[in-house]
Structure formats: C-alpha cells, structure tokens
Amino acid sequence: MLVLPPALGGPPRLTLAEGLPVQQLGFGTWSWGNKLLWGYDPEMDQVLGDAFERALRPQGLFDQNRVFFDTGDSYGTGALEGRAETLLGQFRRASASPQRVAIGTKLAVYPTRLTGASFEDACRASLQRMGCDQLELVQAHWSAANFQPWQEPALLDGLARCYEAGLARAVGTSNYGPEQLRKANDYWRERGVPHTANQVQFSLLSLLPLQSGLLDECAELGITPIGYSPLALGLLSGKYSESRLPPGPRGLLFKQILPGITPLLGLLGEIAATRGKTISQVAINWCMCKGVLVIVGIKSPEMATDNLGALGWSLSAAEVEELDVLASRVPRGATQNIFQTA
C-alpha cells in the first residue's frame, strides 16, 4: 500500500502489509543459485551472507523500516532451483537483525500448477526451504494471461488461499500491466485479501510502467509498485562500455544497446560527479523519485554499500526532467519481460 505519494513531499511511506513499513530500497536474489547468467558458485555463499547482513545496517532515518528482500521459488538454475530461498532463510535465521527483514517470494506460474491448491502447496514448499511459518508477501511471478489464460483463476485463488491459510501477510503480483492488475485487485478485494504490491521492470531504459499508466493505477488502487532491474542488468551502472563488456548473454545484449545510450550515461555521470554519488546511485534514485520501491541485486557487501548510497537524498526536479528527456530518446531500451501483460 502506497500511503504517501512523493508529490506530497519527502520520501513515500511504503508498506507491503498492514503495519509493515519498508525502506524504499530493497534487494533481489535472482543471482543466488543462477549459474547461467550470473555465474553463481556455492563458494560464494559466505560473501552473499555478508552482503545480506550489510544490507541490514541501519540507515539513519530509515531505521524504523524493514528491509525488503525479493526472491522466487524458481531462482536457481537446474538442480539449484530454490537455492535463493534456502540461502535467504539461512541468512535471516543467522542474522543479528532478523526483525529488520521482510521477505517476499514469487511463485512461478508453471503449466503444471493448474489448481489453487497447487499454488498453496508451492508456497508451503517455499516456507519449508526458508525455515519459517509465514512470509511477509507472496506474489504471482507472472500472469498466465499471455500464454495460458485459463490458468489465471487458479493462480488468483491459490494466492488467496496462501493468505487465508496464514502463509503470508499479503499477496502481490509481478509483471502485471494496469488492465490485468485491476482484474486481480477486484478479485482479491471481493475475497477480503490484501493486494499490496505489483513488481515490474523499471529503469531509465524500461519506461513502460510510466507510459502505460501502471504507476498511476497502482496509486489509485493503493498498491506499492516494486521496480526491478533499475540498472538494466548493469547497463546503467557506468561499469561497461563497447570495449568493456560482461561475459555471456549480457555481453551480447550490451553490445547492441550501449551505443545508443551514450548521452544518457554521460548525463548520469555528470550528475553523479556533481553530487558526489556513483552513476548507479543516481540511476536508482531516479526510480525512487517516481515513487517506486526499488530492488537491486546483491552479490557482495561492497555492492550493498554502494546501492545503499541511493538512500537519504533526492534528485532535483530539473535533474529528473533532464534524465526523462534523454531516456525517452534512447533508440533501443532494455529487453522487456515476455510475461509483462497489458
């Protein structure tokens, strides 16, 4: 539930369930267990645990808010599927500040999950992997509308069952556009189930939530928008160029997009230098200025520290407008998630 829009002054007060305020920067665990895209190795687990604990370090005025960690039951490649949930549960149990943690998991809409009970069972399996009895949030990883629309009723029923069984404090959606979002919200409202969040790809290279009216729809329905991939897989981090590309599939994608975003990266660099911030922090803060709860990947304590530097300050209206203009002129943005609905 979005309680205070940014237009009213100050950072928005974001909640994921009744009485559960969260800071505006959260952390995603997509890379945990993912060998294909992120080169995960089990030997990284100690570093990941240190990064998790660093993300919980108090941030001044944000001390009273929980830190949101996003995961999914499909995170982890091959035999490592579910690894992210397992690690997240381990880290919370071992943490010095477990009370600061809020976890949301996304249930994959696999073709074999055809009943509400199958999604409830999936949630129970996630809880078992994380070693807990209840999550703060359970979400549909994507809508079935694009590929198996007949599965959508079972999905919505399944998440409602998770809430009604006490497995989660609230339910949410992911990759839902404004039309599908309202349908889900109408169903859950009639059933008395709190629909509190909608997660969507959002960055200076992924403007669809602004262009489609999704953020306006979230505000009208009282749903917290969660923006993932605010750095567009690293394209907006300032770390890469046409002569310095990451390995694997990301490198192939970056090679196609980087030439067209030179002016945008240049402006991000100028603002970063003026403010004494990093390019990543500026790109993340732009998302925050749109009233979005931003989630960033977390692989090391150093990465957590850098990302936390996006908190506690805001770009000026003029800086936001300049970035808006250059972002709108990019010839090719980030690849859109194929499950994103209208």
Amino acid at 27: F
Residues labelled catalytic: 75
Q: How far apart are CA 172 and CA 184, in angstroms?
A: 9
Q: At what angle do helices 178-191 and 214-221 cross, to 10 degrees?
A: 20
- Say whether pLDDT at 5 is over 50: no
Res. 8 pLDDT band, cuts 50 70 90: very low
- As a CATH number, domain 6-328 is 3.20.20.100
Residue 222: how many other CB atoms lie within 10 Å: 14
Task: Determine contact, residues 40/80, Cβ cutoff 8 Å.
Answer: yes
Decide: 174 and 138 in contact? Cβ < 8 Å. no
Instruction: Work out the average pLDDT over 327-336.
Output: 92
Distances (CA, A) of 139 to 77, 81, 205, 307: 20, 17, 24, 24
Q: What is the pLDDT of residues 163-189, one digit of tens each?
A: 999 999 999 999 999 999 999 999 999
User: Residue 68: which pLDDT band, with cuts at 50, 70 and 90?
Assistant: very high
**Residue 254 has what pLDDT?**
86
Grouping H, G, I as helix, E, B as strand and the rest as coil, residue 339 is coil
List 199's β-bridge partners, or say none: 174, 226
pLDDT given at position 4:
30
Q: What is the pLDDT of residues 258-285, one digit of tens each?
A: 999 999 999 999 999 999 999 999 999 9
Query: What residues contact residue 244 under an 8 Å CB cut-off, 6+ apart?
Result: none
pTM of this structure: 0.93
DSSP H or E stretch at residue 87 = helix 83-94
Q: Residue 11: pLDDT band by 50, 70, 90 thresholds?
A: low
pLDDT tens profile 76-124: 988 889 999 999 999 999 999 999 999 999 999 999 999 999 999 999 9
Q: How confident is the model at residue 59 (pLDDT cuts 50, 70, 90)?
A: low
Tens digits of residue pLDDT in 220-263: 999 999 999 999 989 999 888 887 888 888 888 888 999 999 99
Residue type, 215: L
Q: Which value, to the nearest 10 degrees, does the dihedral of the CA atoms of residues 306, 58, 5, 218 take?
A: 70
61 pLDDT higher than 80: no
Detail the DSSP E strand segments found in the chain: 14-15, 21-22, 25-28, 67-72, 101-107, 137-140, 171-174, 195-201, 224-228, 293-297
Taking CA atoms, 336 is separated from 17, 41, 90, 105, 145, in Å, by 28, 28, 32, 21, 16
- Give 133: exposed, middle or buried? Use CB within 10 Å, 0-12, 13-18, 19+: exposed
Give domain limits for the chain.
Answer: 6-328
Mean pLDDT of the chain: 92
Exposed, middle or buried: residue 335 (CB in 10 Å: 0-12, 13-18, 19+)?
A: middle
